[in-house]
């Protein structure tokens, strides 16, 4: 199985992605035959930033699970929960 085919299973998931020129946490938005659309996540602010199109041949590493990815997902969940709680209080 090619890596592109495998990555299609992980669309819309938060991962750590390393490619030829950089490495970032973010969300895989779309996996095409020749590129990946990747939404960069700033771990300090927990905000999504740049949307990057990466040539699939330049991808070196994708971390789908592990301590750092789990920690980042937990922080995103806490942020989402606190945002929804503050919305409930305003009703």
Looking at residues 25-32, what average pLDDT do you find?
A: 93
pLDDT band at residue 91 under the 50/70/90 scheme:
very low
Q: What is the side-by-side strand order in the sheet with 14-19?
A: 47-55, 35-42, 23-31, 14-19, 59-63
pLDDT for the residue 55: 94
**What share of the chain has pLDDT > 90, as a percent?**
34
- The CATH number of the domain holding residue 80 is 2.30.30.100
pLDDT for the residue 85: 63
* Sequence-ordered alpha helix ranges (H) in 1-91: 3-7, 67-89
Number of domains in the chain: 1
| Residues of the domain holding 13 | 3-89
pLDDT band at residue 89 under the 50/70/90 scheme:
very low
pLDDT for the residue 28: 94
Residues 6 or more apart in contact with residue 40 via CB below 8 angstroms: 24, 25, 26, 48, 49, 50, 51, 52
Q: What is the DSSP letter of 21?
A: S
**What share of the chain has pLDDT > 70, as a percent?**
89
């Amino acid at each position: 199985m090619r890596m592109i085919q495998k990555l299609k299973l992980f669309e819309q998931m938060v991962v750590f992605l390393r490619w030829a020129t950089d490495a970032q946490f973010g969300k895989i938005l779309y996996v095409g035959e020749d590129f990946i659309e990747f939404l960069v996540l700033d771990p300090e602010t927990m905000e999504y930033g740049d949307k990057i199109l990466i040539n699939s041949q330049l991808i070196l590493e994708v971390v789908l699970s592990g301590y750092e990815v789990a920690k980042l997902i937990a922080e995103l969940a806490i942020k989402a929960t606190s945002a929804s709680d503050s919305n409930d209080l305003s009703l």
